[in-house]
């Protein structure tokens, strides 16, 4: 059995498997419509199977049904000649994840878009697979602010997430280097903030520049399409609109949002290099009303659903430099009027305002672990990125946590120490390192550990100038991460990485069929290297958990 992520239990009883052909019918019970559509549109197209509707008791049919004795995302596949293939799910998502496993059972050709062997004999081996996820939040952050990814690329990544049973897309839409979402009441965000005149090539210390303009944004209909496409695959999309730092692109479009008594904000442009800009939002009523307007449109584009995590809105809250606030008379006046101690308190006030604003509209705020500084409302959640410490503090304070420590699951970090590794950034995080990542920190009580909603891998795109670079940095490590997020693995030191590598040998063929430009186990191909493009290696091992 070469499934990824590894299922909880697999039986291979004696007997024949289930042949599939043009006469195979698909019966779908109530609540399984999304999996039914996906099977016909994707698996059927890949293998040339019409999968027409048919009776539940048809010989060797494929049956989809809900089973309330299973956990919501759990599934059970039973394939036997004469009885057909039955996929039971505890909920609609469980049936869908079972359909993803069925695809793997049918071989790499099932991952293509059209048949490559028309008429070839197809069969599902005699199997009983029982499975359910360890974590509810199994996420991927996709940074489209630093390098824009066209809509088709985002839809492709949603398909790749679904193939690995990941269910949360953290959509990083705004930053100093670009604003990627149309806001109708503020058209300059699309006209000005969505593009920069040139781009640093490599780390910010690199002397190289790409001198052509770079940009793009998603129209509101693009966003609706992305959200709907994700929902068909049981994936929640959590938008991130950064406040109060990482905001130079917005200030370049609307200078009144910046600290105008300190800097001439009318002279600012969208930032063309990497790092953390000092141009942060001014703590004024004008800024608050502006971003309330932004979030009003964001809430309409990303509606809350009863299932998944669509009630969350990410507000960033990280790496807010305070120099301009320190020099600003207006900021000092605000601190005094609010009875705050210092600029750190001002940032906490800023986040607290939007925490309350979102909560009043039935939504939940989530932000990077800096938002813990100064205290949080009970419903807010934390993305722990600066190691495990923020997650531990948040869980102990009663907040839900998504574990995504940069030392382990930042996929922009280099995958090997060799000089051929393109644009070396951060720690060396090999495929095995990611496979041995443990999302739940040591030292939590059982109640505190339950605060860990799950985990997330982050794909920051400063040094990923195109889709091929994103693929290279993301895969195959995302497959290892998916198994960590889904499967109930033993302690990190006890995990059978050799078995995972064995199963990856089959999975690479699936990735090939999907057209993923992954890093081969032997190292980068010649065209995947970036000789002479400087990175920022960090030496030494990551901290203990």
Provide the residue-wise pLDDT of the chain in tens; the chain has 545 residues.
Answer: 699 999 999 998 888 899 999 999 999 999 999 999 999 999 999 999 999 999 999 999 999 999 999 999 999 999 999 899 999 999 999 999 999 999 999 999 999 999 999 888 999 999 999 999 999 999 999 999 999 999 999 999 999 999 999 999 999 999 999 999 999 999 999 999 999 999 999 999 899 999 999 999 999 999 999 999 999 999 999 999 999 999 999 999 999 999 999 999 999 999 999 999 999 999 999 999 999 999 999 999 999 987 789 999 999 999 999 999 999 999 999 999 999 999 999 999 999 999 999 999 999 999 999 999 888 888 899 999 999 999 999 999 999 999 999 999 999 999 999 889 999 999 999 999 999 999 999 999 999 999 999 999 999 999 999 999 999 999 999 999 999 999 999 999 999 999 999 999 999 999 999 999 999 999 999 999 999 999 988 766 665 55
Can you give the C-alpha Rg of the chain in angstroms? 24
The structure tokens listed for 12 are 């291979």
Confirm whether 521 is domain-assigned.
yes
Residue 378's pLDDT is 83
Can you tell me whether residue 326 is helix, strand or coil? helix
Return d(Cα 439, Cα 402) in angstroms, integer: 9
CB-based contacts of 468, cutoff 8 Å, min separation 6 = 517, 528
Contact 533, 206 (CB under 8 A): yes
Q: Are residues 108 and 141 in the same domain?
A: no
Domain match, 126 and 145 both: no
CATH number of residue 451's parent domain: 3.20.20.80
**Under 8 Å between Cβ of 26 and 51:** yes
Q: How many structural domains does the chain have?
A: 2
Q: Give me 357's structure tokens.
A: 């604003």
Contact in structure between 163 and 100 (CB atoms under 8 Å): yes
Measured at the CA of 282, the angle between CA 281 and CA 287, to 5 degrees, comes to 80
What is the distance between the alpha carbons of residues 155 and 239, in angstroms, rounded to a whole number? 15
Cβ proximity of 438 and 408 under 8 Å? no
3-state class (DSSP) for residue 402: strand
| Inside any domain, residue 1 | no
The answer to whether position 3 is within a domain reads no
pLDDT at 15: 85
Domain housing 37: 9-131
CA distance linking residue 171 with residue 8, whole number of Å: 30
Is 395:445 a contact under the CB 8 Å cutoff?
no
Together in a domain, 227 and 267: yes
Provide the terminal-to-terminal Cα distance of the chain, rounded to the nearest Å.
32
Q: What pLDDT shows up at residue 545? A: 52
324: nearest Cα among 205, 241, 244 = 244
168 and 82: one domain? no
- Angstrom distance (rounded) from CA 75 to CA 7: 10
Q: Specify the 3-state DSSP secondary structure of 209.
A: strand
CA–CA distance, 132 with 94 (Å, rounded to integer): 8
Taking CA atoms, 522 is separated from 29, 224, 418, 421, 429, in Å, by 46, 40, 11, 11, 15
Residue 545 lies in a domain: no
Single residue among 108, 131, 154 that ends a domain in this structure: 131
Of 98, 131, 164, which one is at a domain's C-terminal end?
131
Shared-domain flag, residues 313 and 416: yes
3-state helix, strand, coil in the chain (%, to 5): 35, 20, 45
DSSP helix/strand/coil, 241: strand
Measure the CA–CA gap between 504 and 482, rounded to whole angstroms.
Answer: 12
Whole-angstrom CA distances from 328 to 320, 323, 331, 520 are: 15, 9, 5, 52
Q: CB under 8 Å to 100, separation ≥6 — which residues?
A: 162, 163, 165
> Residue 540: what pLDDT?
64
Structure tokens at 148: 């824009």
With 0.85 as the threshold, say if the pTM is over it: yes
> 237 and 101: one domain?
no
Q: Quick one: tokens of 2?
A: 């070469």
Q: What pLDDT is recorded for position 375?
A: 83
Tokens 């009875």 correspond to 339
Q: What is the CATH number of the domain that holds 96?
A: 3.30.379.10
Q: Is residue 424 part of a domain?
A: yes
Could you check whether the bond before residue 458 is cis, i.e. omega within 30 degrees of 0? Answer: no
Whether residues 441 and 425 share a domain: the answer is: yes
* Active-site residue list: 175, 246, 319
Tally Cβ neighbours within 10 Å of residue 464: 24
Q: Do 147 and 125 share a structural domain? A: no
Helices (H) and strands (E) in the chain, counts: 18, 25
Q: Would you say residue 542 lies in a domain?
A: no
Domain check: are 115 and 75 in the same one? yes
Same domain, 364 and 275: yes
Task: Indicate whether 517 and 446 sit together in one domain.
Answer: yes
Helical pair 285-301 and 220-232, crossing angle rounded to 10 deg: 50
**Structural domain ending residue among the three candidates 131, 150, 165:** 131
Is residue 172 domain-shared with residue 89, that is, in the same domain? no
């Amino acid at each position: 059995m070469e499934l990824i992520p590894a299922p909880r239990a697999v039986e291979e009883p004696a007997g024949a498997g289930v042949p599939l052909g043009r006469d195979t019918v698909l019966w779908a019970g109530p609540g399984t419509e999304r999996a039914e559509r996906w099977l016909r549109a994707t698996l059927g197209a890949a293998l040339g199977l019409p999968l027409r509707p048919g009776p539940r008791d048809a010989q060797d049919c494929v049956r989809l049904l809900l089973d309330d004795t299973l956990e919501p995302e759990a599934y059970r596949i039973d394939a036997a000649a004469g009885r057909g293939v039955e996929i039971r799910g505890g909920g609609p998502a469980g049936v869908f994840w079972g359909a993803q496993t069925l695809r793997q059972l049918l071989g790499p050709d099932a991952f293509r878009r059209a048949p490559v062997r028309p008429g070839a004999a197809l069969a599902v081996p005699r199997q009983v697979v029982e499975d359910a996820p360890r974590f509810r939040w199994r996420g991927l952050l996709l940074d489209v602010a630093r390098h824009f990814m066209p809509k088709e690329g985002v839809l492709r990544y949603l398909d790749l997430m679904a193939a690995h049973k990941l269910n949360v897309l953290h959509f990083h839409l705004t930053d100093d280097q670009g604003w990627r979402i149309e806001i109708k009441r503020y058209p300059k965000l699309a006209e000005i903030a969505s593009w920069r005149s040139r781009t640093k090539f490599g780390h910010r210390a690199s002397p190289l520049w790409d001198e052509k303009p770079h940009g793009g944004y998603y129209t509101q209909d693009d966003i609706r399409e992305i959200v709907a496409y994700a929902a068909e695959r049981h994936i929640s999309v959590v938008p991130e609109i950064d406040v109060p730092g990482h905001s130079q692109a917005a200030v370049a479009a609307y200078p009144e949002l910046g600290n105008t008594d300190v800097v001439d904000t009318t002279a600012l442009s969208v930032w063309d290099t990497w790092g953390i800009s000092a141009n942060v939002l001014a703590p004024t009523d004008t800024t608050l009303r502006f971003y309330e307007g932004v979030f009003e449109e964001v809430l309409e584009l990303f509606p809350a659903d009863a299932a998944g995590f669509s009630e969350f809105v990410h507000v960033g809250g990280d790496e807010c430099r305070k120099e301009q606030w320190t020099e600003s008379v207006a900021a000092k006046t605000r601190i005094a009027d609010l009875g705050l101690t210092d600029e750190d308190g001002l940032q906490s006030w800023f986040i607290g305002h939007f925490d309350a604003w979102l909560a009043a509209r039935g939504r939940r705020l989530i932000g990077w672990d800096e938002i813990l500084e100064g205290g949080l409302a009970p419903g807010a959640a934390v993305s722990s990125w600066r190691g495990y410490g923020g997650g531990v503090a948040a869980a102990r304070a009663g907040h839900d946590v998504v574990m995504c420590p940069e030392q382990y699951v930042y996929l922009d970090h280099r995958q090997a120490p060799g000089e051929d590794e393109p644009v070396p950034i951060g720690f060396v995080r090999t495929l095995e390192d990611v496979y041995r990542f443990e999302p739940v920190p040591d030292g939590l009580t059982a109640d505190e550990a339950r605060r860990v909603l799950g985990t997330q891998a982050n794909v920051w795109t400063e040094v990923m100038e195109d889709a091929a670079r994103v693929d290279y940095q993301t895969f195959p490590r995302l497959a290892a991460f998916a198994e960590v997020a889904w499967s109930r693995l033993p302690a990190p030191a006890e995990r059978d990485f050799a078995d995972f590598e064995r199963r990856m040998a089959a999975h690479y063929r699936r990735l090939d069929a999907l057209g993923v430009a992954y890093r081969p186990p032997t190292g980068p191909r010649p065209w995947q290297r970036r000789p002479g493009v400087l990175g920022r290696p960090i030496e030494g091992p990551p901290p203990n958990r």
